[in-house]
Structure 1
C-alpha cells in the first residue's frame, strides 16, 4: 500500500474528486457523496482532510468496509500530516442553549477543570440523569438529544399528560411481592419497558448502542436498535449478554428503497425478532435549538457548512410512503411488524386492519410536528372510540414523556402493553457512565414500578386497569367525535 503525501491528498478536495483520511487510510469517496445518509456537506467539509474525529464521533470503524468498495482505498498517510476536521460545536458549553440545571452532588474542582460526574449512587431519579447529561454532553449532542420541534409544546405536554392522571391506591392488600414481568411481541422481559430507537449513541458514549445492548441483557429488557445507530447491528448483536436476548430493529424507509431492503436483510440475518417501521417523521421537525447551534458554529467558522444534526440525519428518509409499504416489507420478511408513530385512533384502526403485530403511540418525542397531541391522550382516544383494540392481537405501546414508574403504570392501566423510553437511556450513557449508567436508570425505574404496584394493591401487571386511575382531567383533552 502506497504512502501518500499531504499534497497528494489535499488536491482531492472537491465534489469532482473527494478524498478523506480516516485512521491513516485514505479513501476516494467521490461516488459516495450523494449517497451519504447524512447529506453531501458532511463529507465535503472533510474533503482533502483527516476526517477521523468527525467519523469516530458518529460511526463505528467497521462501517467503512460495509459501505465502501475495496477500490476506494487509495493508500496510507502518516498521522498528523493532514489538517484534521473537528466539530466546532463539540467544544461549546451546552449550558448556553438552555437554562442552567439545578445543582447535583459533585466533586469540587478548580474553576478551569471540566465538571466531574457525580457517583451513580447520587442520582436518584431520571431527571437527575438529564441534568448531568446537560453538564457533560458536547453542545451539538445535547441539542440533538434534548431539543423538540418549534416551541417544544408537544415535548412538554408528553410529560404533563401523566400529571393529569391521578392514582387511586388500594389499601390493606398484604402485598408480599410483585411480578413486573411481561411479554413484548412474544419476548419475555423483566419490566414493561423497552429501549426506544435513538440514533447516534456515540454522541453520548464511545460504546454507544453496544452499551445499551449489554445493559438491556443484564436487566432483562428489549432494545429497539435505531436505523441511525452509531454501531452496526452485527456489533450490537455481539454485545448482548446471551444468544437469546431479544433485539428489534427500527426501519426508516429510505428514498433509495434498495438501502431499506439491505437494512431489513441485515436485521434478519443478525437475528432481529421484529421490525419497527417509524412513520411519524416523514420530514424533519423544525428543531430550533439544533438549528440555532449550527448557525452559531457557522458564524464562528466561515468555512463551516451544512445544517443541524437532526436535518442531516433525516435527509435520506422518504416522505413518499403509504400503507402499501407493509406489503413491500412482508415480501422481505415474516418477522412481526410494528408501526411507530400512531397519533390518532383512526390510524390505530387502520393499522389493526392491515394486520400489524403492534403499534407505538408516539409523536416522535415532540421532535416532529409541534402541538401534536400526547401519546397518552391518543391512548385514551382509542379507549373511547375503538375499545376493541385494547387487549386485541395487536399490542399497543406508548412512547414519549415517561420519566417515572407511576407513568409506566398509568399507561399500562389504560391498556398499553409496554412503554418505551429513549432520551433517559442516552442520558444514562453520558458523562462516562456507559453501561452502568443505563443499568442505574433501569434500576430506578424498577424500584419505582415495584413500590407503586404495592401502593396500588396489585401483584401482577394484568391486575392494573382504569379502575385504579382518575382520568377526568385528561379526558377533557380527548376528541369528542371521530369517523371510523
Structure 2
C-alpha cells in the first residue's frame, strides 16, 4: 500500500541534496531533476517542502511530470490534514504584495484629462482593449499581471510601441461606397478571415485555466490565426486538439543549447497538420530586465521565506533555529523567481545566419518565419536565404532591449532602403497594437499581417475564452470601420496613400552612405 506523508515529513526535504514537493496531492522527490530543470534549480528549491501545485500548474503543460521524472519519484500521497493552521501575513506584507499591482501612473500611456472614468466590471462594458486590460488587472493574481504587463528596463520601447501609431494619421476618402468590407487575407498561402493574428505569448494559464486552448477556440470562432508559444502552458497537441477545418496555427521555437531537446520538439510539431509554419524567435537571445516581473518574484520569495520559518517553528522543532533562519536567507538571496527569467534558462545565445538556418531546415519541412527583425539590414539579409519565407518585425513587446525601435520604424526603414524585401518575403509586424486603426496603418505601410500578444492574454484574464473572443470582436469591428472610412473594401486596397506617416519618418534611422554597394558591406557584418 502506498505510503502517506505528513507535512512534517515533507518539510524535512528542503535542500539540493534532498528536495521534495507536493503536487496534485502527491509527494514527489525531484532531487535528481534539479540540475536539468529549465527554470534553474533555485526556482524549485524555493518551493521545496511545500505544496507547489498552485505555482506549478499554470506554468507547466500536463504530462511534464511524467516526461521528466521516473515513476519512482512519485513517493506517495500527501495528508493535507497535517498542514499547520494558515497564519495571516505579517503587517506590511499585504502592502508589499499589492505594491506590484499596476498604478494609474503605470498603466496610463496617454493623458486621460477630460475623460470620465467608469469602473469596468464585466466584458459587456469593455469597449476597447484598454477596458479589457483594466478588467483583467482587477482579476489577475499579481504574478500573472506582472508577467503579462512587464517589459524591459524603463518600459520605453513598450510605450513607444503603443504611441508611435498615434502619430500616423489617416487619409479618409469620401463618395466611396463603403457598404461592403472584407477583412480576409492570406498568410503564407493560407486564407484567414482577419488580417491580424495572435502572436506567440507564453504562460496563458497564468491568467485563466482555459489557457492557449481557450485562445485557439476563440480564434476558431473568428477565423483568426494563432502562433503557439514554445513556452505555452499547454502542449501543442492539446492546443490544436479541437482545431476547426481550415484553422491555421504556427509554432514558435527558441533554440536551446541542448540542440537534441529542440530537435525532439520540432519532430513533434512536424506531426501536427494544423501547424503550418515555424517561427524562429531571434529578438531575445538573453532575457531582458523586466522589473515588474522580478519585483513580484522577490515579494513571493520573501513571503515564502517568512512562511517557511514560521511554519517549521510551529510544526516541529526538528531543526535548530539557526538552520531555519539560514534556509530563509537562502530563499531571499536566490534568483528572483520571475517567470520571464525562468523561461529563458537553456536558451542558446550562439545562433548565426548560416549555421542555424541550415540546422533548422534539416529538421523540418515547414515554412520558416524569422521573428525579431529590428533593422532593414537584417530584413534584407533574411531575404537572401531561400529557407526563409517571411519575417516578423518585433522588439519582443519591449521585453528585451529597451529603447529598441518599434516595428513600424523598421517597416519604414525597409520601405526606404530595401523595398524589394516586401515582395520577396511576407513581412508581418508585432507589438503595441491597441486599436483596429493601428492594424490598418501597419497594413497600409506594407505589412502583410499584424500580431497581437498581450491583448489575448489580458482577454483570458478578463473572461477566459469569451474574453479573447471579445478582444477579436473589438479589433475586427474597429478594422472594418477604419477600412470603410478610408474607402477600402478589401485589405489588398490598403496602401501608403491611406496614411500620412511623415511625423514618424523623421525618427527613422538615416543611413548617410546611400549607395547600395556601400551599404551592402554594412549588411554583411552580421555573422555567418
In the superposition, the TM-score normalised over structure 1's length comes to: 0.91
Q: CA deviation at 1:84?
A: 11
Distance in 2, matches of 1:255 and 1:89, equals 40
Residues 89-145 of structure 1: CA deviation (Å, up to 9, x unaligned): 999336744326688655xxxxxxxxxx62222100111111122222111211111
Structure 2, unaligned stretches of length 5 or more?
306-327, 514-518, 521-528
- Flag the 1:95–1:60 CA change in 2: closer, same or farther, 3 A: same
Residue equivalent to 1:114: none
- Alignment of 1:99 with 2:73, yes or no, is no
| Structure 2 counterpart of 1:333, from 336, 341, 364 | 364
Residues 178-224 of structure 1: CA deviation (Å, up to 9, x unaligned): 11101112221111111011111111101111110110111101111
Structure 1, unaligned stretches of length 5 or more?
107-116
More deviation in 47-56 or 463-472? 47-56
Contact 1:456 1:468 in 2 (8 A): yes
Aligned pairs for 1:156-167 (under 5 A) are 156-167=159-170
Residue equivalent to 1:360: 392
SS at match of 2:366: coil
Contact 1:94 1:139 in 2 (8 A): no
Q: Which structure is larger by alpha-carbon Rg, 1 or 2? A: 2
- Alignment of 1:28 with 2:29, yes or no, is yes
Contact 2:287 2:400 in 1 (8 A): yes
When the two structures are aligned, how many residues end up with a matched partner?
471
Residue equivalent to 2:235: 232
SS at match of 1:267: helix
Residue equivalent to 1:148: 151
| Structure 1 counterpart of 2:478, from 448, 465, 468 | 448
Residue equivalent to 1:291: 294
Distance in 1, matches of 2:498 and 2:74, equals 63
- Flag the 1:99–1:325 CA change in 2: closer, same or farther, 3 A: same
Contact 1:193 1:421 in 2 (8 A): yes
Residue equivalent to 1:245: 247
Q: CA deviation at 1:267?
A: 1.5
Aligned pairs for 1:410-425 (under 5 A) are 410-425=441-456
| Structure 2 counterpart of 1:467, from 486, 497, 503 | 497
Residues 298-326 of structure 1: CA deviation (Å, up to 9, x unaligned): 45554344322211222221111111211
Residues 247-306 of structure 1: CA deviation (Å, up to 9, x unaligned): 211101112112211221122223321111111011111112222333334455543443
- Higher share in helix: 2
Residue equivalent to 2:315: none
Aligned pairs for 1:163-312 (under 5 A) are 163-240=166-243, 242-271=244-273, 272-302=275-305, 303=328, 304=331, 305-307=334-336, 308-312=338-342
- Alignment of 1:375 with 2:407, yes or no, is yes
- Alignment of 1:118 with 2:148, yes or no, is no
Q: CA deviation at 1:364?
A: 0.5
Distance in 2, matches of 1:45 and 1:155, equals 31
- Flag the 1:351–1:134 CA change in 2: closer, same or farther, 3 A: same
Distance in 2, matches of 1:314 and 1:252, equals 9
Residues 19-71 of structure 1: CA deviation (Å, up to 9, x unaligned): 22211222222221122122212211222332212212322433222332333
More deviation in 315-324 or 121-130? 315-324
Residue equivalent to 2:64: 63
Residue equivalent to 1:47: 48
Please give the root-mean-square deviation of Cα atoms over the aligned residues, in Å. Answer: 2.4
Residue equivalent to 2:313: none
SS at match of 2:131: helix
SS at match of 1:311: helix
Q: CA deviation at 1:83?
A: 7.2
SS at match of 2:3: coil
Residue equivalent to 1:111: none
SS at match of 1:430: helix
Residues 403-442 of structure 1: CA deviation (Å, up to 9, x unaligned): 11111111111111100000011111113x1111111110
Residue equivalent to 2:343: 313
Distance in 2, matches of 1:72 and 1:228, equals 24
Contact 1:91 1:138 in 2 (8 A): no
Contact 2:228 2:236 in 1 (8 A): yes
SS at match of 1:92: helix
Contact 2:133 2:455 in 1 (8 A): yes
Distance in 2, matches of 1:448 and 1:419, equals 14
Q: CA deviation at 1:366?
A: 0.7
- Alignment of 1:2 with 2:2, yes or no, is yes
- Flag the 1:337–1:26 CA change in 2: closer, same or farther, 3 A: same
- Alignment of 1:395 with 2:426, yes or no, is yes
- Flag the 1:332–1:83 CA change in 2: closer, same or farther, 3 A: farther
Distance in 2, matches of 1:83 and 1:449, equals 55
More deviation in 399-408 or 8-17? 8-17
- Flag the 1:22–1:298 CA change in 2: closer, same or farther, 3 A: closer
In the superposition, the TM-score normalised over structure 2's length comes to: 0.84
- Flag the 1:85–1:449 CA change in 2: closer, same or farther, 3 A: farther
Q: CA deviation at 1:16?
A: 1.9
